[in-house]
């Protein structure tokens, strides 16, 4: 345990970078996933086809393969920026496909009668989404979105495999290489991940109950 207690700052910094990496990825995935969900339910056929193909293709590619492709492939075509944001971009594009399907399941839960009523009032497709469909859909998928955020947080550890050594798993690997105590170092890292997922779960439960009262 001396390795852990004497390197609390290392674990703290790694945890902070992991939180930043996960939060940035989730925000990007949320924005892209929302657009994809709109495409998938759009009356415009090419947009529906694009959304369907995007989800089918991205969900079929392992995340580590996509990360490797971005980190080592983009520089070959002249696109070079920080490893952190390269990882965020790759993971955001990947998780957007899953975010899209979560939102689409929420859209399906909106009563058909409300959609028809909106159309009868003369709302455009965009107004119908913004004022009627999406507010209700998002309220019904709080728990699935929390599960998605947990998956994003846990899989952010894959960024260490492509060089983002500042995050928690990367820092833990460096400590293990120095002290050769994997049980202690990775055990401490596991507890950090458990703490993050518990916080997400508790917050999602509170938010779900809060929105249930408002409904």
Q: What is the 3-state secondary structure (H, E, C) of 63-131?
A: HHHHHHHHHHHHHHHCCCCCHHHHHHHHHHHHHHHHHHHHHHHHHHHCCHHHHHHHHHCCCCHHHHHHH
Residue 122: is its pLDDT beyond 80? no
User: How high is the pLDDT of residue 120?
Assistant: 76
Residue 214: is its pLDDT beyond 60? no
Residue 173: is its pLDDT beyond 80? yes
Over its C-alpha atoms, the chain yields an Rg (Å, rounded) of 20
Count how many Cα atoms sit within 13 Å of the Cα of residue 70 in the half-sphere of its side chain: 26
User: How high is the pLDDT of residue 212?
Assistant: 67
Let me know: does 102 contact 33? Beta carbons within 8 Å: yes
User: How high is the pLDDT of residue 116?
Assistant: 75
User: How high is the pLDDT of residue 175?
Assistant: 83
Give the predicted TM-score (pTM) of the model.
0.89
Residue 154: is its pLDDT beyond 60? yes
Residue 107: is its pLDDT beyond 90? no
Residue 117: is its pLDDT beyond 90? no
Q: Give the residue-averaged pLDDT of 137-162.
A: 90
User: How high is the pLDDT of residue 124?
Assistant: 76
Q: Give the residue-averaged pLDDT of 170-198.
A: 87
Burial class (CB in 10 A: 0-12, 13-18, 19+), 8: exposed
Residue 129: is its pLDDT beyond 90? no
Residue 26: is its pLDDT beyond 90? yes
Local confidence band at 7 (pLDDT 50, 70, 90 cut-offs): low
Stretch among 128-132, 172-176, 194-198 having the lowest mean pLDDT: 128-132
User: Mind listing the pLDDT tens digit for each residue in 51-99?
Assistant: 999 999 999 999 999 999 999 888 888 787 888 999 999 999 999 999 9
């Amino acid at each position: 345990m001396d390795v852990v207690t004497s390197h609390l700052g290392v674990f703290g910094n790694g945890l902070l970078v992991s939180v930043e990496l996960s939060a940035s990825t989730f925000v990007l995935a949320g924005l892209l996933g929302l657009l994809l969900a709109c495409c998938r339910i759009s009356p415009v056929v090419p947009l529906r086809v694009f959304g369907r193909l995007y989800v089918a293709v991205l969900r079929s590619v392992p995340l580590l393969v996509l990360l490797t492709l971005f980190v080592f492939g983009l520089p070959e075509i002249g696109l070079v920026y920080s490893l952190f944001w390269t990882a965020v971009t790759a993971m955001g594009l990947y998780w957007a496909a899953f975010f899209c399907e979560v939102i689409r399941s929420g859209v399906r839960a909106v009563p058909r009668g409300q959609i028809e009523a909106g159309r009868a009032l003369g709302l455009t497709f965009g107004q119908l989404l913004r004022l009627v469909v999406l507010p209700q859909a998002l309220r019904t998928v709080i728990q699935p979105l929390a599960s998605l955020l947990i998956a994003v947080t846990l899989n952010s550890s894959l960024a260490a495999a492509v060089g983002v050594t500042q995050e928690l798993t990367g820092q833990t690997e460096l400590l293990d290489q120095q002290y050769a105590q994997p049980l202690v170092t990775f055990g401490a890292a596991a507890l950090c991940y458990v703490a993050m997922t518990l916080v997400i779960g508790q917050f999602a439960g509170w938010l779900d109950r809060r929105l249930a009262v408002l409904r």
